[in-house]
Copies of this chain bind each other. A is one copy, B any other.
Amino acid sequence: MRIALAQLNFHTGNFGDNLQKMLHAMEHARQERAEIIVFPELAICGYPPRDFLEFSDFIRQCNETAVQLAIACRDITAIVGCPTINPNIKGKNLLNSALVLREGEIIAARHKTLLPNYDIFDEYRYFEPNTAFEVVECCGKRIALTVCEDIWDIGEDPMYTVSPMDELMKQQPDLMINIAASPFHYEQAGLRREVMQYNARKYGIPLYYVNHVGAQTELLFDGGSLVVSAGGHICHEMAYFKEEVGVFESDHLTETNIHEQSGHRQELFARVGLVHDALVMGIRIYFEKLGFKRAILGLSGGIDSAVVLVLACEALGASNVRSVMLPSPFSTSHSVSDAVSLAENTGSPYDIIAINDIYDAVNNTLKPFFGDLPFDVTEENIQARIRALLLMALSNKYGYILLNTSNKSEAAVGYGTLYGDMCGGLSVLGDVYKTGVYELAQYINRDREVIPGSIITKPPSAELRHGQKDSDSLPEYEILDKILYQYIEQRQGPRELIAMGFGEGLVRRVLKLVNTSEYKRHQTPPILRISAKAFGMGRRLPIVAKYLS
């Protein structure tokens, strides 16, 4: 049997475009003599549809699109993810289904059993879990058809009380097909291969796994769809960060692991390269799906905005990314000159707009109210907010999206100005710690010096007062980022952190900074997610709380 896996970038709620994309893939699969084409989880509507699922109009359009796809299934069977209505009156009203389509009919439907409801996942918000298990007979094969999470619950502390594949194995399937919507983070590719290999080995049958690719606001999907042999060897791995329709012959899977063969992939899958490619894709698709072409950003002469500029130029084309240097009375001369060198290296347009006159006007206006009170964080924030005001004015006048340049370390400890440098339509680096930003800069400079060395080597400074350095008020990033990683990604508390050897005073101070900055993060732009725990929809904390704060 020949199976096509269609790893595509769907647009949430854009039923017409999603259908056209699937019809196009199906035509290609038919030409390649595929008998089955498999689309990812909830491909019909895009993943995640979120609360659109609560609208009966949305569900109706999902169903109508599935019917149109079925009508196109001439001489080919399609498997596609689609929300369907739960026929049982008890329980939630929807099921997260894999529909089997052929010759104008929905000939079978199987439903997701394990509904992820952690981190960025909210599936139990909408769907009733499946409780009935039956293989699908198709093209002379018995297929164990499951949806994403159904085959991921394999650890020693299982999150669910039932195993769909254990149930399906009672009916002796010939192969597994899993349709997925499994978002990227920098360890996901390795994890995904392990989980798929584990399943194939455990059940002793081949596994065909198809994932989404592309971006849905903050969520990135890397593709990497897989064919795994009954022996647990990876026979095929599809592209990363690219749409692809792969057609595979199921009866002759070789028991050879392509990952053991090809040492060069090690480099390809190195963490920094993955993060780089993910961010570039995330920017590109965010703009494409919103119908925008051009970006603007403030270029400070520091490393964060430098990296964002380069990534944006790769994503959108250098001519579509406009930088603005916005020196204040506290900016050093090298900040502007470094920023100019960088912009010229990328070939992207830039302007220099001094904020001094506006800064003076603000101070004069406030003079009757501030009197002789000393310069403090107020005046620092005023500078950051004037810059945001000017960038947003250019954005409004010319139709740019403003790119935010804050990194994860700053976002974590609240080192940033709300309505100032925390502005933007999209946060590019909000899930990358400062130490990771340096790694990205080195990766960008791997062949030639795009980012001037002086930008990489100078001590980080917000330059909002004379002689200011980040290290005046924050621990060194090498230490800070380690604590933040343990607290945010690994959910380690003060006791565990102190046991790891971090000083108690430092630990308490950092955790307090993180927890009391929740109110700032509440108002930040969507953050491209590249780690297993990003700020945003996957991390939900109260603003008003008194815990480690």
Nearest Cβ on chain B to A197's Cβ, whole angstroms:
23
Q: Residues of B contacting A217 with CB < 8 Å?
A: 542-544
Q: How far is the CA of A112 from the CA of B418 in the complex (A)?
A: 40
Q: Residues of B contacting A537 with CB < 8 Å?
A: 540
A355-385, CB < 8 A from B: 355, 357-358, 360-362, 364-366, 369-370, 373, 376-378, 381-382, 385
Of B54, B55, B216, B545, which is within 8 A of A13 by CB? B545
Q: Residues of B contacting A13 with CB < 8 Å?
A: 542, 545-549
* Any B CB within 8 A of the CB of A396: yes
Whether B523 lies near A14 (C-beta < 8 A) is no
* Any B CB within 8 A of the CB of A495: yes
Q: Residues of B contacting A500 with CB < 8 Å?
A: none
- Copy number of this protein in the oligomer? 2
Q: Residues of B contacting A57 with CB < 8 Å?
A: 493-496
* Any B CB within 8 A of the CB of A49: yes
Of B50, B158, B381, B425, which is within 8 A of A519 by CB? B425
Nearest Cβ on chain B to A316's Cβ, whole angstroms:
15
Whether A381 lies near B396 (C-beta < 8 A) is yes
Q: Residues of B contacting A493 with CB < 8 Å?
A: 55-58
Whether A12 lies near B396 (C-beta < 8 A) is no
Least CB separation from A364: chain B residue? B357
* Any B CB within 8 A of the CB of A138: no
Whether A160 lies near B90 (C-beta < 8 A) is yes
A162-218, CB < 8 A from B: 215-217
Given A122-B540, A158-B90: A397 and B376 interface contact (C-beta under 8 Å): yes
Whether B366 lies near A14 (C-beta < 8 A) is no
Least CB separation from A121: chain B residue? B125
Report, as a range, how many residues of chain A touch the other chain.
35 or more
A211-227, CB < 8 A from B: 215-217
Q: Residues of B contacting A370 with CB < 8 Å?
A: 397
Whether B124 lies near A50 (C-beta < 8 A) is no
Q: How far is the CA of A58 from the CA of B548 in the complex (A)?
A: 10
A72-105, CB < 8 A from B: 88-93
Could you give, for residues 378-413 of chain A, a 1 whenever the CB lies within 8 Å of some chain B CB and a 0 otherwise?
100110011011101110110000000000000000
Could you give, for residues 44-82 of chain A, a 1 whenever the CB lies within 8 Å of some chain B CB and a 0 otherwise?
001011111011111000000000000000000000000
Could you give, for residues 310-333 of chain A, a 1 whenever the CB lies within 8 Å of some chain B CB and a 0 otherwise?
000000000000000000000000
Q: Residues of B contacting A50 with CB < 8 Å?
A: 540-542
Q: How far is the CA of A353 from the CA of B364 in the complex (A)?
A: 11
* Any B CB within 8 A of the CB of A438: no
Nearest Cβ on chain B to A19's Cβ, whole angstroms:
13
* Any B CB within 8 A of the CB of A289: yes
* Any B CB within 8 A of the CB of A261: no
Least CB separation from A366: chain B residue? B393
* Any B CB within 8 A of the CB of A491: yes
A436-468, CB < 8 A from B: none
Whether B161 lies near A90 (C-beta < 8 A) is yes
Nearest Cβ on chain B to A362's Cβ, whole angstroms:
6
Whether A378 lies near B393 (C-beta < 8 A) is yes
Q: How far is the CA of A216 from the CA of B365 in the complex (A)?
A: 37
Nearest Cβ on chain B to A24's Cβ, whole angstroms:
18
* Any B CB within 8 A of the CB of A11: yes
Q: How far is the CA of A541 from the CA of B537 in the complex (A)?
A: 11
Could you give, for residues 522-535 of chain A, a 1 whenever the CB lies within 8 Å of some chain B CB and a 0 otherwise?
11111000000000
Of B89, B351, B369, B525, which is within 8 A of A157 by CB? B89
Q: How far is the CA of A300 from the CA of B365 in the complex (A)?
A: 18
Q: Residues of B contacting A93 with CB < 8 Å?
A: 157
Q: Residues of B contacting A54 with CB < 8 Å?
A: 491
* Any B CB within 8 A of the CB of A290: yes
* Any B CB within 8 A of the CB of A286: yes
Q: Residues of B contacting A365 with CB < 8 Å?
A: 353-355, 357-358, 390
Of B118, B159, B354, which is within 8 A of A91 by CB? B159
Q: How far is the CA of A544 from the CA of B287 in the complex (A)?
A: 9
Nearest Cβ on chain B to A285's Cβ, whole angstroms:
8
Given A46-B545, A357-B361, A389-B389: A160 and B540 interface contact (C-beta under 8 Å): no
Least CB separation from A381: chain B residue? B396
Q: Residues of B contacting A545 with CB < 8 Å?
A: 11-14, 46, 52
* Any B CB within 8 A of the CB of A423: yes
Nearest Cβ on chain B to A445's Cβ, whole angstroms:
31
Least CB separation from A159: chain B residue? B92
The 10 closest A-B pairs by CB, nearest first: A13-B547, A57-B493, A14-B546, A361-B361, A378-B396, A12-B545, A419-B419, A124-B124, A378-B397, A217-B544
18 A-B residue pairs with Cβ-Cβ distance under 8 Å, sorted by A, are: A14-B546, A50-B540, A52-B545, A89-B157, A90-B161, A91-B161, A117-B117, A217-B544, A353-B365, A357-B361, A357-B365, A382-B393, A385-B389, A392-B419, A425-B519, A522-B526, A523-B524, A523-B525
Known: A12-B542, A215-B544. 4 other contacts (CB 8 A): A13-B542, A50-B540, A91-B161, A290-B544
